[in-house]
Amino acid sequence: MDVIKKNMWSIVCGVVAVLAVVSTFYPLNGKFDELNQKLQSSVADQRKLKQLNDLNPNMPVIDPKTSEVKKLNQFPTEKIIAKGREVVGKVHSESEKLQARALAMNERKPLVLAALPKGSQPALSAFKEAYYAGLEQMKLDLDATTVPTAEDVRKREDEIFKEQFEPLIKKFGDQEQNRQEVDAAFADAKLQLPRDMKVERAKTHTMYIMGEKQGSVPGTTASFDYHPGIPSLEDNRPPDVHDVWAAQLGYWIQQDVVNAIKETNASVTPKDGKLTVEDAIIKRLNKTDIPKVYMTRTGPVAIDLAKNPQNVSSAQGQPAAADDNAAGAIRSYGFSATGRVCNPSYDVMHFTVQVDADAQKFQTFMTNLTRGKFITILRVDVQGVDRQRIEQNAGYIYGKQPVVRLWLKCETIFFRSLTVDKDHPLMPVNVQKLLKIPQTPGAMAELR
């Protein structure tokens, strides 16, 4: 007992030590885990604070002319953040305005609204008439002429004889007293007539177009693209709706070409008040060729295929590629340098145009063909023209300035929001299916 009394303090300390060791294993295990989690969380917060402290934030890129990213060089305060949001909002607003302007530039009016996407027979027949009338109006808008044909010369000879030489014949009863002398004088006058008629047309018109194509629809010319699926005016049959769509696309493209030529020639100040072939930059529209074909990721697809239901069902049965209906533009560089092909936003077509133009100013036409239009020139070929030879052999009088033959391969796009949207239902349903455009129950394209 005395031993216990003498070592009481040591015993108490020992008991406390044992209790302390036991306490670390029993009810305080959860507390240590909690403290450890708080420690780790504090370490993570410290790292985040350090990252924020070391971070040099970037300023938003709002200049469309550069992709350079500039540093803010300070921590973004609430005021700076608010200012950034304001600037980004303005950029977004301008982007929407630009998109609306682009759509307005690409919007086209159909020749006959009721003819598409599935017109009645009267509407399709009305399109045929409007189509040929519209192409004839384009000739007038260009102030274009052709080289006089042999038939034109014969008609003028008859007119001149009746107006100028027939009154010179003296008659005594039924006998013509000086018929031989009058005929001889008329024969001399006829020698210069073809040349005079060619000069007259060159001075009274702005440019040339090619003459009427032999064996084709009357009045047609290689200068313009006439869709073969549109029957002639003499034919009572209405065109197929798919041919109407193909012809309408070609007509819209030719409107752009004609407007570019008009703008180009209008930029010239005429010497004597009337713009002549010699003054004009574009002196002849030789040819316009518009294949009625869409450029797709897998290759060209002819619109004509939509006439056959088997082609449409075959196209619908093929599984779409992962990017066929993806948002944004699809690129495929196997068909053009731009890589543009049909996608959910727009459809792509190619065409060619050939003109004879002033050798020093033909670039003006190229600029006008692409400016304000969704047309890209893919290829340019330029060849010199022998003016004297073409005048002697074909009758085209271009004047004294050097002339080149300009061949352009071009690409144009048509926004689907203006051709298959519910507010612009123009593209026939089978053409949509041919292009694998998703269909709603109402058979209209579902734009994304």
Q: Is residue 174 helix, strand or coil?
A: coil
Residue 175: both structure tokens together? 């006998």
Structure confidence at residue 438 (pLDDT)? 87
What pLDDT, on a 0 to 100 scale, did the predictor assign at position 447?
40
DSSP label at residue 161: I
Q: How far apart are CA 261 and CA 241, in angstroms?
A: 30
Q: Is 38 helix (H, G, I), strand (E, B) or coil?
A: helix
Strands 282-289 and 346-358: antiparallel
Sign of CA dihedral 184, 186, 189, 191: negative
Please report, in tens digits, the pLDDT of each residue of the chain (448 residues total). 666 666 666 776 766 666 666 555 555 556 667 777 877 888 787 787 777 666 667 776 666 666 677 776 766 777 767 776 776 676 656 565 655 666 566 688 999 999 999 989 999 999 999 999 999 999 999 999 999 999 999 999 999 999 999 899 888 888 888 888 989 999 998 999 999 999 999 999 999 999 987 767 788 999 999 999 999 999 999 999 999 999 999 999 999 999 999 999 999 998 888 999 999 999 999 999 999 999 999 999 999 999 998 887 765 555 554 445 454 567 888 888 999 999 999 999 999 999 999 999 999 999 999 999 999 999 999 999 999 999 999 999 999 999 999 999 999 999 999 999 888 899 999 999 999 998 754 444 444 3
Question: Is the Cβ–Cβ distance between 202 and 144 less than 8 Å?
Answer: no
Helices (H) and strands (E) in the chain, counts: 12, 10
Alpha carbon distance 440, 56 (integer Å): 49
416 and 425 Cβ atoms separated by less than 8 Å? no
- The pLDDT value recorded for residue 33 is 75
Q: Are residues 292 and 249 in contact, defined by beta-carbon separation less than 8 angstroms?
A: yes
3-state helix, strand, coil in the chain (%, to 5): 45, 15, 35
Give the global pTM.
Answer: 0.76
165 contacts 181 by C-beta, under 8 angstroms:
no
State residue 171's pLDDT score: 85
Burial 340-351 (b: 16+ CB within 10 A, else e): bbbbbebbbbbb
Task: Please tell me the predicted confidence (pLDDT) of residue 178.
Answer: 87
CA distance 202 to 284: 11
Question: How much is the pLDDT for 253?
Answer: 98
If phi > 0 it is left, if psi is from -120 to 50 it is alpha, else beta; for residue 66 that is beta
pLDDT at res. 446: 40
Instruction: Please list, in sequence order, all residues whose beta carbon lies within 8 angstroms of the beta carbon of residue 341, skipping any fewer than 6 positions away.
Output: 295, 296, 297, 330, 331, 332, 335, 348
Burial (CB count within 10 angstroms: exposed 0-12, middle 13-18, buried 19+), residue 258: buried
Residue 338 sits at φ, ψ, to 5 deg, of: -80, -25
Half-sphere exposure of 445 (CA within 13 A, CB side): 30
Closest C-alpha among 318, 339, 346, 317 to residue 447: 346
Please provide residue 67's backbone torsions phi and psi, each rounded to the nearest 5 degrees: -110, 10
> What is the pLDDT at residue 39?
76
3-state secondary structure at position 430: helix
Residues 6+ apart with CB under 8 A from 266: 275
CB 108 within 8 A of CB 252: yes
